[in-house]
Chains A and B, each alone.
Chain A
Amino acid sequence: MVVATLSPSVYARLDGSLQRSSSVTARNVTALRSAYWLLLVSGFFEPLLYLLTIGYGLGTMIGRIPVGDGQTVKYAVYVAPAMLASSAMTGALAESTFNFFGKMKFQKTFDSVLATPVRPMEIAFGELWWAMFRGALYSAAFLVIMVFMHLTSSLWALIALPATLLVGFTFGAVGMALSTFMRSWQDFDVVATVQVALFLFSATFAPLSAFHQAWLRVLIQCSPLYQSVALLRGITLGRPTAGLLVHVAYLAVLMMVCLFIAARRMHKQLLK
């Protein structure tokens, strides 16, 4: 209904805005060098390694894992969606923290972009499209492997793909918002450490019930990666419940808040 009442000039503005933010994405694609492409592709290698060595290797010494409602699954089946979610997170965060920060502070890429009609919010969106594209590449490849290894069915894999995009989009926004607070490269050590903590404790390798302290379980459930893993695990196991919508809502809200913070702070820092 809101759309219907928008005047034509607002349409034109939205259209221009979309065009300008996609130019920011196009810049990233153009700037790709051959070695960087290889690195981009190799990012997909890591979750696969974890799936093979931990999911299958360590899995030989681990019994079935409970996934609620009295059901249990093989360890590899349990770990696979978690690797899917964390690879979406890693791809999006790599692009939106390290690379984004470099462009903002050192390469002065955004200063030159702002000399054109592009505005900070449009840079934020353009960079986010790019982070999401990278995440989508990893996710799609990993889902294909999961189908081949009978860790999910092809139908559920198709449904999981947009969910991984949401995960990538959310972590892209989180990373961008964080980057505006960074002072130096050393601060990224903290980001990397938190990222590893999320990777290890978000019901990725061990179910929530492995943690005996109630406060710890609550803390884990608040983590964005936990929400992502729970969403993707529900889908790839073929167990759609209304609870999955809660995870979707959590991620969507987090993404909007972070986008808002990122755009606001970029406005302040870049348009001095």
Chain B
Amino acid sequence: MSGALAVLNYNLVGYRRTWRGSALTSFVLPVLFVLGFGVAVGSYVNTGQLGGGTYLAYLAPGMIASTAMQVAFGESTWPIQTKFTWVRTYHAMIAAPLAIRDLVFGDMTFLVLRVVSSSAVFLFVTSLFGAVHSWWAIGVLPACGLLGVAIAAPVFAFTATMDSSTNYFAFLQRFIVIPMSLFAGVFYPISKLPVFLQPLAWASPLWHAVEICRAATHTNHGSLWALLGHVAYLLLWAVVGLWLALRQYRRRLSD
């Protein structure tokens, strides 16, 4: 446990010097999307099909979850590969009295902090635009943190298998992350998708997180069982992902 805290501390010290850049991308970009789609395009959307309310109020929780996914993905690709390959931070760390699980859990804790803090800022901004309807909206934060682990843990495992010449992150981004952000019910209900695409949306962790966030910010919270189902599905991804990450880290660093 104290090992993981030491790894977390290592990340926090570094972040003190680099937070400005990430603040720009993880905060300004989603706000632009909220204004561009929520407000501008929203004025043309027929919201009758969304159960009333403004399009902005529909879009905002989805955008928060989608941004959480992007931050988690960004933090678990290049920065992690740097620690394996170029700077070899991990090699230095395991030479100290740190276990493999300390590296995984320490870095994951830092990632969750990043995801939750950017979600919190985003939630605050959308509340200024009147897109938040109850105090339950705070529930968005743990949901985004859980989504962060569900996304990042399997990507940690994937990154651990990459070397400096085989980084396929741009492919992952183009063929999985961006399609997910467009198909997983962020911009419109997945019932509008062609029937054959709907199972893909159900399978994606993002859709489940979007549903939780939407239940939290709207006045109609939906059924408790559905919520628990979404949480359980995200937990499944997180646990299996962490198990995979531990396994791949062990393989990569055991030489």
Q: Which residues of A contact B (CB under 8 A)?
A: 35, 38-39, 42-43, 45-46, 49-50, 53-54, 57-58, 60-63, 65, 75, 186, 189-190, 192-193, 196-197, 200-201, 205-206, 210-211
Q: List 16 A-B contacts (CB under 8 A).
A: A39-B171, A42-B171, A42-B175, A43-B174, A49-B178, A57-B193, A61-B192, A189-B25, A193-B24, A193-B28, A193-B32, A196-B32, A206-B36, A210-B41, A210-B43, A211-B40
- B171 and A63 within 8 A (CB): no
A60 to B187, CA, bound (A): 12
Most chain A CB within 10 A, of B47, B50, B183, B192, is at B192
Q: Looking across the interface, which residue of chain A has its beta carbon closest to that of B166?
A: A35
A192 to B21, CA, bound (A): 12
B233 at the interface (CB under 8 A from A): no
Residues A45 and B175 in contact in the complex (CB < 8 Å), given A54-B182, A192-B25, A210-B40 = yes
Residues A200 and B46 in contact in the complex (CB < 8 Å), given A38-B171, A50-B182 = no
Contact of B36 among A43, A186, A201 (CB under 8 A): A201
Residues A206 and B46 in contact in the complex (CB < 8 Å), given A57-B187, A60-B188 = no
Q: Provide the main secondary structure of the chain A interface.
A: helix
Q: Looking across the interface, which residue of chain A has its beta carbon closest to that of B168?
A: A35
A239 to B88, CA, bound (A): 58
Q: Looking across the interface, which residue of chain A has its beta carbon closest to that of B188?
A: A58
B: contact size bracket = 20 to 34
Give the residues in chain B near A65, CB-CB below 8 Å: 44
Q: Looking across the interface, which residue of chain B has its beta carbon closest to that of A33?
A: B165
Give the residues in chain A near B46, CB-CB below 8 Å: 61-63
Contact of B40 among A75, A192, A206 (CB under 8 A): A206
A54 to B28, CA, bound (A): 21
Q: Looking across the interface, which residue of chain A has its beta carbon closest to that of B190?
A: A57
A46 to B177, CA, bound (A): 11
Contact with A along B53-96 (1 / 0, CB 8 A): 00000000000000000000000000000000000000000000
Residues A205 and B36 in contact in the complex (CB < 8 Å), given A50-B182, A53-B187 = yes
Give the residues in chain B near A54, CB-CB below 8 Å: 182, 187
Residues A46 and B178 in contact in the complex (CB < 8 Å), given A58-B188, A206-B40, A211-B40 = yes
Known: A46-B178, A53-B182, A57-B182. 14 other contacts (CB 8 A): A35-B166, A38-B171, A53-B183, A53-B187, A57-B187, A57-B192, A58-B45, A58-B188, A60-B192, A62-B41, A193-B24, A193-B25, A196-B32, A197-B32
